[in-house]
């Protein structure tokens, strides 16, 4: 099969490799859509410990496809089913895992991160993930692209749930990349009045073109938000960019009793970030953060798509064949378009 393997920093090679055969308890997926993510770009740009010339890895953790073959002893699935694959898997027996937070397991693994993923014609789902329910059947109306893009959507849903958005809440999202726009979509679904801020006018315009109910804020975020909300601020603020100053600012922009969600991580060399804790004290704010998504959230957002309460299809702005993966990576790296998807 054809696969895009990472051999090291900025070293992706599209090669013919043996098609894997599913072992006992495993499922072989014929990949149909695999989306490129900011995490892939960071892995490729910064390099990853353990990935080198002798230990290449197939990236890609936003995956949907068709069940091609079942290993021995797999029940509940059949060949030909259309599926999306939740990439995160925990050990299944530790405290976070039994609480349903396999994505926070100390022995966490994920397809396309520490196991071979979906930037290939075929991908094997390990037994622990099959048994854990990571292979999710796609309803008829849900496209493979939607199935793939559901992965980041589920991570966004994790942050969204922490933000506890109620109808009429003023919601500020900072960062108009694909993640920030997905936050807008969920906040709108919950009945929030959504403000989206970014330093790029183009990104704001493309967000507004997809979801016209978004109020875009360009320029000085504080000034623009206060103008738009008559000095009230925001009931919920979600930072969807890796900028430390934005995290400090978010606390200033929160209304009384506001919730601030640090969704985007910041580079390790920028830690720690200064936060005015007196603002948290006097405004009775709740600060939170989220990373990745639980399997329950992954299935929940698939239901949002299949039931029609949420449409994320306009977020896919370009398709590529696997052999052209470098073009897809370049677009993602340069922030051109939103989700770049490999189709097979």
Sites of contact with Zn ion (CB under 5 A): 37, 39, 90-91, 94, 97, 105, 152
Nearer to Zn ion, 42 or 319 (CB): 42
Q: Give residue for tokens 């979509």.
A: 185
Count CB atoms within 10 A of the CB of residue 223.
10
Beta bridge partners of 197: 174, 217
Shortest Cβ distance from residue 304 to Zn ion (Å)?
Answer: 17
The rounded distance, in Å, linking the Cα atoms of 189 and 312 is: 12
The rounded distance, in Å, linking the Cα atoms of 289 and 279 is: 18
Q: What angle do CA 32, 120, 50 make, to 5 degrees?
A: 140
**CB environment 71-82: b (16+ within 10 A), e (fewer):** beebeeeeeeeb
Q: How far is CA 57 from the centre of its chain?
A: 20
Nearer to Zn ion, 108 or 195 (CB): 108
The rounded distance, in Å, linking the Cα atoms of 120 and 133 is: 22
Shortest Cβ distance from residue 45 to Zn ion (Å)?
Answer: 15
Hey, CA dihedral for 55, 322, 292, 261, is it positive or negative? positive
Shortest Cβ distance from residue 195 to Zn ion (Å)?
Answer: 25
Q: How far is CA 287 from the centre of its chain?
A: 21
Do 302 and 84 touch, CB atoms closer than 8 A? yes
CA distances (Å), origin 206, targets 151, 279, 306 = 21, 34, 24
Shortest Cβ distance from residue 228 to Zn ion (Å)?
Answer: 31
Nearer to Zn ion, 2 or 91 (CB): 91
Nearer to Zn ion, 39 or 200 (CB): 39
Shortest Cβ distance from residue 88 to Zn ion (Å)?
Answer: 10
Nearer to Zn ion, 70 or 181 (CB): 181
Q: Where are the alpha helices (DSSP H) in 4-60?
A: 38-46
Hey, CA dihedral for 87, 93, 98, 103, is it positive or negative? negative
Nearer to Zn ion, 42 or 283 (CB): 42
Shortest Cβ distance from residue 39 to Zn ion (Å)?
Answer: 5
Pairing of strands 27-35, 122-125: antiparallel
Shortest Cβ distance from residue 86 to Zn ion (Å)?
Answer: 12
Q: What angle do CA 177, 179, 184 make, to 5 degrees?
A: 95
Shortest Cβ distance from residue 289 to Zn ion (Å)?
Answer: 17
Shortest Cβ distance from residue 97 to Zn ion (Å)?
Answer: 3
Nearer to Zn ion, 170 or 292 (CB): 292
């Amino acid at each position: 099969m054809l696969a895009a393997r990472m051999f090291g920093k900025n070293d992706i090679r599209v090669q013919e490799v043996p098609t894997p055969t599913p072992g006992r308890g495993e499922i072989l997926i014929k990949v149909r859509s695999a989306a490129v993510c900011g995490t892939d770009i960071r892995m490729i740009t910064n390099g990853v410990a353990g990935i080198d010339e002798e230990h290449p890895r197939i990236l890609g953790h936003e995956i949907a496809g068709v069940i091609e073959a079942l290993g021995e002893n797999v029940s509940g699935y059949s060949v030909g089913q259309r599926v999306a694959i939740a990439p995160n898997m925990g050990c299944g027996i530790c405290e976070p895992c039994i609480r349903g937070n396999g994505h926070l397991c100390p022995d966490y693994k994920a397809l396309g991160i520490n196991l071979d993923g979906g930037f290939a014609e075929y991908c094997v789902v390990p037994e622990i993930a099959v048994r854990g329910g990571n292979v999710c059947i796609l309803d008829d109306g849900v496209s493979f692209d939607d199935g793939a893009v559901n992965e980041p959507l589920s991570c966004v849903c994790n942050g969204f749930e922490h933000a506890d958005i109620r109808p009429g809440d003023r919601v500020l999202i900072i960062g108009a990349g694909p993640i920030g726009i997905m936050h807008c979509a969920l906040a709108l679904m919950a009945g929030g009045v959504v403000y989206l801020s970014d330093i790029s006018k183009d990104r704001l315009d493309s967000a507004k073109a997809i979801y016209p109910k978004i109020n875009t804020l360009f320029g000085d975020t504080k000034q623009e938000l206060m103008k738009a909300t008559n000095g009230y601020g925001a009931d919920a603020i979600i930072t969807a960019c890796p900028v430390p100053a934005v995290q400090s600012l978010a606390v200033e922009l929160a209304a009384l009793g506001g919730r601030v969600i640090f969704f985007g991580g910041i580079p390790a060399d920028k830690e720690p970030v200064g936060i005015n804790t007196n603002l948290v004290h006097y405004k009775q704010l709740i600060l939170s953060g989220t990373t990745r998504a639980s399997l329950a959230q992954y299935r929940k957002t698939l239901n949002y798509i299949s039931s029609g309460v949420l449409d994320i299809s306009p977020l896919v702005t370009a398709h590529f064949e696997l052999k052209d993966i470098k073009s897809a990576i370049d677009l993602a790296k340069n922030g051109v378009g939103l989700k770049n998807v490999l189709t097979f």
